[in-house]
Amino acid sequence: MNPLELLIGTWRGKGTGEYPSIAPFSYIEEIKFQDNGFRDVIQYEQRTWLDEARTSPSHWETGLIRLLGEHEIEIINAQIGRRVEVLVGDIELKGPQHFVIDLNSITIANDVRMVGTQRHIEISGNQLFYTMSMAMTKVPTTTHHLQATLVRGLECGSLETPSSDLFETYDS
Ligand code: HEM
């Protein structure tokens, strides 16, 4: 089974963010994963907003996800904050529709404040949960920044406002 195939589609949900140097915040998120016929590479785009009406855009990121081996995975991305990042890590299959990915940055460029990042991603069927932590020069210990839960929905126009029911379901 190819775990990348299990990501294809549009996922929407809600997350919270924090860091010692900033005020806590919540956000809504949409991630689209799509393939172009390569067995080992897919493309993704992640968009976020600080309000459900999507009037306050926040983080925006796009990149490629590549299987390097049966249990090794790489993400190469470009971010709205002008950063580019390469992360590598393990992919562990826990069941037919269930896998866990743990990634560490091996490169972060174009943001001298950054030291390193970590991402933990769990996919189970149509649910996706992730956390992201980072170290900066001013906060050198890797420290929690984000967590979010998304569900894969029906394909629809990218500007469609997500249903608030969905967010209520994943509020906890
Ligand atoms: C869901 C994705 C993300 C959201 C919604 C998000 C949101 C935010 C918000 C609202 C802030 C505070 C305001 C600001 O400085 O712009 C912030 C700060 C920051 N974020 Fe994120 N972020 C996301 C992903 C990332 C990623 C992937 C990285 C790095 C790889 C990152 C690095 C930072 C940094 C370096 C700061 C500044 C912290 C400081 O100045 O002390 N963020 N983020």
pLDDT in tens, 25-74: 999 999 999 999 999 999 999 999 999 999 999 999 999 999 999 999 99
117-150 pLDDT, tens per residue? 999 999 999 999 999 999 999 999 999 999 999 9
**Cα–ligand 1 centroid distance for 38 (angstroms):** 31
Protein residues whose CB sits closer than 6 Å to any atom of ligand 1: 15, 17, 19, 21-22, 25, 27, 29, 48, 58-59, 81, 83, 85, 113, 117, 132, 134, 136, 145-146
Q: What CATH class does 3-169 carry?
A: mainly beta
Instruction: Work out the burial of residue 150: count CB atoms within 10 Å of its CB; fewer than 13 is exposed, 13-18 middle, 19 or more buried.
Output: buried
- Of the residues 60, 61, 142, 145, which should be mutated to test ligand 1's pocket, given the most ligand atoms within 8 Å of the CB? 145
Domain range annotation of the chain: 3-169
pTM for the model stands at 0.90
Going along 20-159, which residue ranges are E strands?
22-35, 41-49, 57-69, 72-79, 84-95, 98-109, 114-124, 127-136, 143-153
Mean pLDDT calculated for residue range 91-103: 96
Output phi, psi for 168, to 5 deg.
-60, -40
